[in-house]
Structure 1
Amino acid sequence: MNNLPLRHYAELNRALRDGQETLLIDLREEADFATGHPLFAANLPLSKLEIEILDRVPRRNTAITLYDNGQRYDQRQDIRLVQIAAARLKALGYVDIALLAGDLHGWQEAGGELFIDVNAPSKAFGEWVEHHYDTPSFSAEQVQGLLQSGANVAVLDVRRFDEYQNMSIPQGISVPGGEVVLRLRDLVPDPTTQVIINCAGRTRSIIGTQSLINAGVSNPVAALRNGTIGWTLAGQELVHQQQDSYPPLSENSRQAAWQPVQTLAQRAGVQHIDLAQLIQWQADEQRTLYLFDVRAQDEYQAGHLPGARHVPGGQLVQETDHYASVRGARIVLIDDDGIRANMTASWLAQMNWQVYVLDAETYREHFTESGSWAPSTAAVPTIESVLPQQLAAWLAEGDTGIIDLTTSANFIKRRIPGAVWTTRGALPQILAAQPTYKRWVVTCTSGLLARYAVTEVQALTGAPAYLLQGGTLAWIDETLPLEHGASTYTENPRDRYRRPYEGTDVTADAMQAYLDWEYGLVAQLEKDGTHGFKRLTN
């Protein structure tokens, strides 16, 4: 296929077992990726390549292996996703690109395991942790009984705040997992209080509970078994739009966490480096390096080290495959006092990552950047743009088509009237089914992704194509008309996998099937044999 070399299962399996840098990219949309993939495959859809690849694969000579499970970009010309992706990657300067020999069928035939769902390495690790550490847990009925009896208990929800607001356990307090050890004494000043850790399913509650145990807290601690899924399956009511979050950090809580976390990191084999070592590694063209700031968002925005990506520690452990897509790369973590970075590093080290913590005293004065993290994106082709009012005039004339590349959820929520939704990977099929227009306009929520599809739409339609300047948000700012609700284009969207623990309209059967899958992950890990997870030393 365009003379691209093949990389075989045996070579990739050996590299994973030996801890070598390995990158296997699944080019399908997330919902298709979730149907089955190798354990350490990174889901990087063709449709998002230009806006994600540079941060997820920062080294241009990384050995990249692509697969698409036979999916076509253009059915008419029999062009596959891997062909388009390889061409785009070469244009971006990547030089070592190969195809997975035999695709997913070849992987399985050679003896490779396929894992369903998303963030499989982290979820499998959570199950491995519970299995090997006997992480304590209470059933939903037990926790409800404690709450109803007025027992001395604190429920700490370790998900993101938006997830907590969507649905949570009564009396729960939001404290994302990377913060829970640091802030425990402010949240739970009484060392006799029973602490209950919950998430939506299992992984983050297991990791949060075991984090407190590993850090040697004196409180009794237990996970809410199966999280909000378990709560719902028990017939108990969740609450919505709770606002309770952790208070400002006290010096007492910081001091209580500091020494136990340093000891824990040492037991996990975490190493520390200074700024000079970091700079040397950043110049190393033979090793991939990820630099993450694991503090809370407001702290990062107030000041951070240039080049550090903001990823809260709990989410980094939960979604490691997304943020650090090159398995076997170096990871360096930063905070401002050595607690959250070392806590997060203790988990990544057990996940068999080469993880290091930058000594805080060597770089605090270098927190010279402020604001949110901005992704590195590919150069944009020369394109023409159009303002919302001009687009409105064209649409009124009936001779302009509009393609919207936002997420399907955003498209359902609000869109420009008459817009056609698709992912970039399906553009040829969607455009082939449209009427002939004098021109096309391409949009997405902000215009970021749409910039890369304008020339693509023009080539596929043979008509002039334009970017909606500022995206759909600019249209909204002009108070122009919007459509809302489901569309024929979103009847079976593949851009996002609907997690069985999301929302309140998931069936009990789907929830139970998800839990059953998680229960079986430890056995599947052993069959796969590439994980390398390891326990703490005594």
Structure 2
Amino acid sequence: MAAVDPHEAKRRLHAPSEIACLDVREHGQYGEGHPFLAVPCPYSRLEAMVAALVPRRDVPIILVDEGDGLARRATKRLAALGYAEIDWIDGGAPAWAAAGYTLFKGVNLPSKTLGELVEAQWHSPAMGPDALEAWRSEYRSFQLFDGRPAVEFAKMTIPGSRSMPNGEAGHRWEALAPEGGPVVINCAGRTRSIIGAAGLALMQPGLPVLALENGTQGWALSGRTLAHGVAAAPLPAAQTAASRQRADAFMAAHGLLQIDRAEADRLAREPGRTTYLLDVRDPTEHSAAPHAAAPSAPGGQLVQATDQWIGVRRARVILADDTGLRAALAAFWLRQLGYETCVLAGIDAWPADWRLPVEPLGRRHPAALPEVAASEAVSRAREGDLLLDLRGSFDYRAGHLPGAAWSIRPRLPAVAGRGVLLAGDTSTTALATIDLIEAGAVSVHRIAGDAQGWRNAGLALETSPDAPADADAIDFQFFVHDRHDGNLDAARRYLAWEMGLLAQLDDAERGEYRLDAIDLRAGCEKVGTGFSR
């Protein structure tokens, strides 16, 4: 366990072997600039997140901090869990930039960049808002799908768009195809429009599929009105036999590997390899029949935000579903991102207790804290106990208990010799307790309930619109955060950020991708003019 200079860290990150680059800074700090391959794993939730992100205990790990010593503290926590090979970038993110390497703003960089590469290299067809409106005025037959999850669709969408999360359209095609005409796919910006359109076009060769250029943000920037509060209709049922046939054809066409449970067991036990198993079905299907073996990772979202599930570069990923089609599509995209992928179909027939072998985990965090009522916490704070609110900074601003100070695990105040009362969820407070006890707190209790419960109990909460100050609210990502709330300038800056990603890549970062040789233009010849590529 040692500090490594940025040049050595860069070399390791792009070497052929497995490695995890974990950024232990908080979400707001991460969003303002991080190494391209860094995966967010904030110190405030480190022990709760790392086992899923990095399931193999002997995989090499490189940590990123702000050059403030936080990585050393995180190393101690990870060692307690059994991780054996942990280093950190000497000087953190500032040193990375000083060495001449780019700190990328935003989140989900590898996935976002994939969308831009697909557009540039595969010439994926797209159309803008004016062309879509022209189709409508001409009463042309077409289908408009929103490729995001239902909750995002309900917030805002293009008027007339139907909720159809990416990866589901091909699986449910028989229920959709009778409407006929070309298909247009939108998201909130660019990535899921591009990836969703490209994926459906590959699933349905010859079908004209276009991305709606710049999604809902482009629609708003064109001066048009978005639809808000539209409830997503239930997804139509799939014809499983047709879905299986489509899966077999797609896997054969793109050289994807299908395995059985015995092979999955064998691969998971292979020394020196990290294997993930993820259920890519729609979340409602996973909830109705969950399997301990595979956490839910809806295919469209997995491709959009791979680093929320997969923390180890060059790992092996097994994708599971019922017919093989949704798993095959997700496997195809993850392969473009540089992962080894396999398809495991028939999840609905798995034994309920079947799971991949899992290494034993070290000490994660203490048992649930003893609790006190909010009213008692306020009284004890007046008598000298320290009342800390570990909820999100904006939740604190909106309403907190009288006398509570906002804090976060990386920046806990001095507590030696004092009792401490913590507001926040059970996991966050339990993890902060590790640090508080080491710092000399004589007792730590969690405050029962939440803000609404405190109000219901008759407590008058204090508000503080400017505290903590923006500079101290390191948990909140300010980078174009209000682009979906009417701030058109933020939308312009966000779209410019997405379109500028390719220009920021160096050769090593570009080399992480393994894009197949594909050209998507031919499928749109029949729609004539009106699309931009």
TM bucket by the smaller chain? 0.7 to 0.9
Q: Could you say which residue in structure 1 is the equivalent of 2:142?
A: 153
Q: Could you say which residue in structure 2 is the equivalent of 1:531?
A: 512
Contact 2:371 2:448 in 1 (8 A): yes
Write out aligned runs for 1:43-62 (5 A). Answer: 43-62=40-59
How far does residue 337 in structure 1 lie from its aligned partner after superposition? 1.2
CA–CA separation in structure 1 for the residues paired with 2:231 and 2:72: 48
Write out aligned runs for 1:471-486 (5 A). Answer: 475=454, 481-483=460-462, 486=465
How far does residue 524 in structure 1 lie from its aligned partner after superposition? 2.8
Query: Does 2:435 align with 1:456?
Result: yes
How far does residue 396 in structure 1 lie from its aligned partner after superposition? 8.4
Q: Could you say which residue in structure 2 is the equivalent of 1:77?
A: none
Q: Could you say which residue in structure 1 is the equivalent of 2:285?
A: 299
Q: Could you say which residue in structure 2 is the equivalent of 1:513?
A: 493
- 2:336 alignment partner AA: Q
How far does residue 456 in structure 1 lie from its aligned partner after superposition? 2.9
CA–CA separation in structure 2 for the residues paired with 1:342 and 1:412: 45
Contact 2:80 2:363 in 1 (8 A): no
Instruction: Identify which of 385, 388, 397 aligns with 2:370.
Output: 385
- 1:507 alignment partner AA: N
Q: Could you say which residue in structure 2 is the equivalent of 1:522?
A: 502
Query: Does 2:445 align with 1:466?
Result: yes
Query: Does 2:38 align with 1:41?
Result: yes
Unaligned runs of 5+ residues in structure 1 are 73-79, 371-375
1:97-132 Cα shifts (integer Å, max 9, x gaps): 112245345545655443221111000110000111
CA–CA separation in structure 2 for the residues paired with 1:478 and 1:498: 33
Instruction: Identify which of 187, 195, 208 aligns with 1:199.
Output: 187
How far does residue 23 in structure 1 lie from its aligned partner after superposition? 1.3
Distance 1:220 1:532, change over 3 A: closer
How far does residue 530 in structure 1 lie from its aligned partner after superposition? 3.6
Unaligned runs of 5+ residues in structure 2 are 356-360, 520-533
Higher mean displacement: 28-37 or 256-265: 256-265
Instruction: Identify which of 25, 28, 34 aligns with 1:28.
Output: 25
Q: CA RMSD in A?
A: 3.1
- 1:210 alignment partner AA: A
Write out aligned runs for 1:24-423 (5 A). Answer: 24-70=21-67, 72=68, 80-101=69-90, 103-108=92-97, 112-147=101-136, 150-192=139-181, 194-251=182-239, 254-360=240-346, 364-368=349-353, 379-381=364-366, 384-388=369-373, 391=376, 394=379, 399-423=384-408
User: Could you say what secondary structure the match of 1:49 adopts?
Assistant: helix
Distance 1:378 1:12, change over 3 A: same
CA–CA separation in structure 1 for the residues paired with 2:462 and 2:205: 53
How far does residue 321 in structure 1 lie from its aligned partner after superposition? 1.7
Contact 2:336 2:514 in 1 (8 A): yes
How far does residue 344 in structure 1 lie from its aligned partner after superposition? 0.8
Distance 1:503 1:417, change over 3 A: farther
Higher mean displacement: 142-151 or 468-477: 468-477
How far does residue 134 in structure 1 lie from its aligned partner after superposition? 0.9
CA–CA separation in structure 1 for the residues paired with 2:286 and 2:11: 38
Distance 1:462 1:6, change over 3 A: closer
How far does residue 15 in structure 1 lie from its aligned partner after superposition? 4.7
- 1:294 alignment partner AA: V
- 1:86 alignment partner AA: T
Distance 1:496 1:442, change over 3 A: same
1:33-75 Cα shifts (integer Å, max 9, x gaps): 12222211111111111110111111111111112131x3xxx
Higher mean displacement: 127-136 or 473-482: 473-482
Distance 1:308 1:478, change over 3 A: farther
User: Could you say what secondary structure the match of 2:446 adopts?
Assistant: strand
Distance 1:382 1:136, change over 3 A: closer
User: Could you say what secondary structure the match of 2:468 adopts?
Assistant: helix
Higher mean displacement: 124-133 or 158-167: 158-167
CA–CA separation in structure 2 for the residues paired with 1:472 and 1:290: 37
Contact 2:19 2:314 in 1 (8 A): yes
Instruction: Among all aligned residue pairs of Structure 1 and Structure 2, give the percentage whose two residues are the same amino acid.
Output: 32
Contact 2:334 2:341 in 1 (8 A): yes
- 2:219 alignment partner AA: W
Contact 1:421 1:490 in 2 (8 A): no
How far does residue 461 in structure 1 lie from its aligned partner after superposition? 6.8
Contact 1:182 1:257 in 2 (8 A): yes
CA–CA separation in structure 2 for the residues paired with 1:26 and 1:516: 25
1:201-251 Cα shifts (integer Å, max 9, x gaps): 100110000011111255422111001111111111112110133433142
CA–CA separation in structure 1 for the residues paired with 2:157 and 2:82: 46
CA–CA separation in structure 2 for the residues paired with 1:142 and 1:300: 38
Instruction: Identify which of 403, 411, 427 aligns with 2:412.
Output: 427
User: Could you say what secondary structure the match of 2:200 adopts?
Assistant: helix
Contact 2:143 2:184 in 1 (8 A): yes
CA–CA separation in structure 2 for the residues paired with 1:517 and 1:215: 30
1:323-343 Cα shifts (integer Å, max 9, x gaps): 101101111111111111111
Higher mean displacement: 468-477 or 232-241: 468-477
Contact 1:12 1:22 in 2 (8 A): no
User: Could you say what secondary structure the match of 1:307 adopts?
Assistant: coil
Distance 1:364 1:477, change over 3 A: farther
- 1:31 alignment partner AA: G
Contact 1:381 1:452 in 2 (8 A): yes
State the TM-score, normalized to the length of structure 2: 0.86
How far does residue 262 in structure 1 lie from its aligned partner after superposition? 3.0
How far does residue 483 in structure 1 lie from its aligned partner after superposition? 5.0
Higher mean displacement: 286-295 or 487-496: 487-496
How far does residue 417 in structure 1 lie from its aligned partner after superposition? 4.2
CA–CA separation in structure 2 for the residues paired with 1:130 and 1:512: 19
CA–CA separation in structure 1 for the residues paired with 2:497 and 2:105: 9
Higher mean displacement: 392-401 or 415-424: 392-401
CA–CA separation in structure 2 for the residues paired with 1:537 and 1:221: 15
Q: Could you say which residue in structure 1 is the equivalent of 2:530?
A: none
